[in-house]
Structure 1
Amino acid sequence: MTLLESLHLNSLIIRVSLDFVQGRIVGGYTPSPNSIKYIVSLQSSKGQHFCGGSLVHKSWVLTAAHCNIGCMMVVAGDYTLGAYEGTEQYSKPLSLIPHPQYNRTTNNADIMLIKLSAPIELNRYMSLAPLPKQNAGLLAGRMCRVSGWGSTSHSGGLTPLTLRTVKLPIVSTSKCNSSNSFSGNITANMICAGSSTGGKDACKGDSGGPLVCDGCVYGLVSWGNGCGDSRFPGVYTAVSRFRRWIDQTIYSPYSRCLKSVGLFSRKD
């Protein structure tokens, strides 16, 4: 059995559950209300948060491809889930567009754009996420920040769920691909980030959320082996590898013609 197959059997690859997601940022802190103005919550038809995302255009959200459950609501301007704050905006997806090279088995190209049925108003609570240039790189050791909603413990969570953030250093691909870590399963389309001492990480429910470095969304929470394990950094989709695809999709003259009939749906 390969390492990748083992991770699948132990339900460690995909950090999202369609029944109930216990999202959490491990070892983080609570940022100031609405200080991360571009983050959005993806919620099921029952109002349960299951993934994060970033507003990259008033009508488009960037998230992970494995967050594709078909029926969802995008909530922008939120801070504490389950508590009405008057800053929230809601929009249903018109289309979900995973990257055409997305591979569920390897999680390569784990990136998706969501076209909204109604645009999000940009105001003091919501702004657009800055993105890196195509193929822009990051040096190992660069400190970044990942954000998401949920419990701060592995054993369970309290509601309402307040946004949390944790700072993490970038881990080199060679170290992340070493035999005592991910053994070669990290592709050029992925970034690793994690603490050498463990205890700090993104986890279930944080999928699709932003990893911000130098003020830009360089990564999307994608997969990992457990949460906060020093041997296994968190794995993120490298947004800079897909900047051209993002721009072409959003600004294509055909994007305004996308209909719900083009919806991709995952039911597994």
Structure 2
Amino acid sequence: MTLLESLHLNSLIIRVSLDFVQGRIVGGYTPSPNSVKYIVSLQSSKGQHFCSGSLVHKSWVLTAAHCNIGCMMVVAGDYTLGAYEGTEQYSKPLSLIPHPQYNRSTNNADIMLIKLGVPIELNRYVSLAPLPKQNAGLLAGSMCRVSGWGSTSHSGGLTPLTLRTVKLPIVSTSKCNSSNSFSGNITANMICAGSSTGGKDVCKGDSGGPLVCDGRVYGLVSWGNGCGDSRFPGVYTAVSRFLTKVNAKTYPEKKKSFYKNITQ
């Protein structure tokens, strides 16, 4: 099996199986309760967490396009999944709006907006995610952090499902695209981040979760090859590439304006 076939198979597994979509922060730490106030949990009709997202407006969530499974519940203000903490807010989506250029085969443009049926109330536990400017870039070596729910290792340990965070440096596109890594499969709409020594990563995604650099959500957990392998950093959708580049024919003017306004 070629590298491209392997990566494509991995992305397919992530998309179609809730067990594999569920994130697994490897080599991370537990942040203070409700310190990542903009992260939301996307849950199935049975209450199973399968993806994460970022609250960018009281009525809108930004996540990965491959998290589009139809029936879901958006939960804001959560910290430990499955434990009622009194800070949670729930909202069912009115619509799921994947980017029109999203490509399932290449994972390009893996970004989606979720319009919420009930607006989320902003309070001491929930706030909006700061976003970068349009086309803002990151220097290789810049330290970022990514958060999500799941086990701390490949072997399991899914209880308790407390939010975890891992710090990761940005990896240059040229290095990520080298023959020793993703061999040209990283597009300009993607960001790579991972430890040069391995052991720190987001395993199988916690798809759609925020990659935060300089206090802003620069990336969304998208895809990868394995977990914690120094040769294969995690791959994230570059949020700054999509803030104003929205197809007007696919997105109504209201949504187009929303993408523009959230950068201000």
The one-letter code matched in structure 1 to 2:99 is: H
What is the Cα deviation at residue 16 of structure 1? 4.8
User: Does the 8 Å contact 1:221/1:235 carry over to 2?
Assistant: yes
What is the Cα deviation at residue 53 of structure 1? 0.2
User: Does the 8 Å contact 1:16/1:204 carry over to 2?
Assistant: no
2:260 match: none
Aligned to 1:243, the other structure's residue is in SS state coil
Q: Aligned runs of 1:66-105 on 2, under 5 Å?
A: 66-105=66-105
Q: Which runs of 5+ in 2 are unaligned?
A: 258-264
Q: Please give the alpha-carbon distance, in whole angstroms, between the structure 2 residues aligned to 1:124 and 1:81.
A: 19
2:254 match: 253
2:127 match: 127
Change (3 A) 1:61 1:68: same
The one-letter code matched in structure 2 to 1:143 is: M
User: Does the 8 Å contact 1:150/1:205 carry over to 2?
Assistant: no
Q: Please give the alpha-carbon distance, in whole angstroms, between the structure 2 residues aligned to 1:159 and 1:199.
A: 21
Structure 1 stretch displaced more, 63-72 or 16-25: 16-25
1:184 match: 184
What is the Cα deviation at residue 12 of structure 1? 5.1
User: Does the 8 Å contact 1:16/1:51 carry over to 2?
Assistant: no
Structure 1 stretch displaced more, 198-207 or 187-196: 198-207
1:229 match: 229
1:52 match: 52
Q: Aligned runs of 1:109-258 on 2, under 5 Å?
A: 109-245=109-245, 252-253=253-254
1:156-175: CA deviations, max 9, x gaps? Answer: 13323000000000000000
1:237-260: CA deviations, max 9, x gaps? Answer: 0000011147x899933689xxxx
Change (3 A) 1:17 1:189: same
Q: Please give the alpha-carbon distance, in whole angstroms, between the structure 2 residues aligned to 1:124 and 1:73.
A: 22
User: Does the 8 Å contact 2:205/2:222 carry over to 1?
Assistant: no
Aligned to 1:222, the other structure's residue is in SS state strand
2:261 match: none
Aligned to 2:66, the other structure's residue is in SS state helix
User: Does the 8 Å contact 2:37/2:126 carry over to 1?
Assistant: yes
Change (3 A) 1:95 1:25: same
The one-letter code matched in structure 2 to 1:65 is: A
Q: Which runs of 5+ in 1 are unaligned?
A: 257-268
Q: Please give the alpha-carbon distance, in whole angstroms, between the structure 2 residues aligned to 1:46 and 1:157.
A: 20
Change (3 A) 1:169 1:250: farther
Q: Please give the alpha-carbon distance, in whole angstroms, between the structure 2 residues aligned to 1:56 and 1:77.
A: 14
The one-letter code matched in structure 2 to 1:195 is: S
2:19 match: 20
Q: Please give the alpha-carbon distance, in whole angstroms, between the structure 2 residues aligned to 1:190 and 1:199.
A: 21
1:168-211: CA deviations, max 9, x gaps? Answer: 00000000000000000000000000000000001225110000
The one-letter code matched in structure 2 to 1:76 is: A
User: Does the 8 Å contact 1:103/1:110 carry over to 2?
Assistant: yes
The one-letter code matched in structure 2 to 1:118 is: V
Change (3 A) 1:233 1:126: same
Structure 1 stretch displaced more, 120-129 or 16-25: 16-25
Q: Please give the alpha-carbon distance, in whole angstroms, between the structure 2 residues aligned to 1:255 and 1:70.
A: 22
Q: Please give the alpha-carbon distance, in whole angstroms, between the structure 2 residues aligned to 1:163 and 1:254.
A: 30
Q: Please give the alpha-carbon distance, in whole angstroms, between the structure 1 residues aligned to 2:220 and 2:84.
A: 27
Tell me the TM-score normalized by structure 1.
0.90
1:100-132: CA deviations, max 9, x gaps? Answer: 000000000000000000100000000000000
Q: Please give the alpha-carbon distance, in whole angstroms, between the structure 1 residues aligned to 2:202 and 2:141.
A: 17
Aligned to 1:236, the other structure's residue is in SS state strand
| Aligned residues between the structures | 255
Tell me the TM-score normalized by structure 2.
0.91
